[in-house]
Amino acid sequence: IEWFQKNQEEGLIARLENILAEPFARVSYTEAIEVLKAEEPKAQFKEKVEWGMDMGSEHERYLTENVYKKPCIVYNYPKDIKAFYMKLNEDGKTVRAMDVLVPKIGELVGGSQREDDRDRLAAMIAAKDLDPKPYWWYMELREYGTIPHAGFGLGFERLVMLVTGIENIRDTIPYPRYPGHAEF
């Protein structure tokens, strides 16, 4: 870490210690949108802020760098912008999904509670106008019942960016591919 502080980002260690110093901010998606709307004139976002949007990196970073000044967990996202398998909240508009946002990067972790009821899962597939045939195996997993469960994904390259101070994600990818290179 000291090498990265010397050669990559001055103040890296202090930034990482700040991340660990106190609990992350926790805010619902609806609250995050309200905060961003209030900040919109000052922030001059490229994309207009409105409930139901899939927040972009500019919005995620603004929350962590300008509003909370620390990592932030945003939860209860609109069902229309999330996958069919996420558990629907009682309000019928949001799902039990969350993202962990960090300064300088944006989303580091994304996760959700999964729908464990077969009938509700089938209803979500239909509501999203998806062909149920490719999901037969997923539905079969719930044929005889299942327990409440959840999952998450951590962006490894983004984690490397966080702990090293490297600014371009391309520089953190072990086997980078881009147009015209490393074709299969």
pLDDT in tens, 133-184: 999 999 999 988 889 999 999 999 999 999 999 999 989 988 777 777 666 5
At 56 the pLDDT is 95
Q: Domain tally for the chain?
A: 1
Give a yes or no: residue 36 inside a domain: yes
Range of the domain at 151: 2-167
- Domain membership of residue 172 (yes or no) is no
Between CA 126 and CA 84 the distance in angstroms is 9
- 34 pLDDT more than 80: yes
In a domain, 184, yes or no: no
Residue 79, domain member (yes or no): yes
Residues 6+ apart with CB under 8 A from 94: 29, 30, 76, 77, 78, 79, 88
In a domain, 64, yes or no: yes
Supply the pLDDT for residue 184: 58
Q: What are 167's strand-pairing partners? A: none
Average pLDDT, the chain: 94
Q: Where are the alpha helices (H) located in the chain, listed in sequence order? A: 2-7, 12-21, 29-43, 57-62, 118-127, 136-140, 156-164
- Answer whether residue 173 is part of any domain: no
CATH of the domain at 159: 3.30.930.10
Surface-to-core class of residue 55, CB atoms within 10 Å of its CB (0-12 exposed, 13-18 middle, 19+ buried): buried
| 183 located within any domain | no
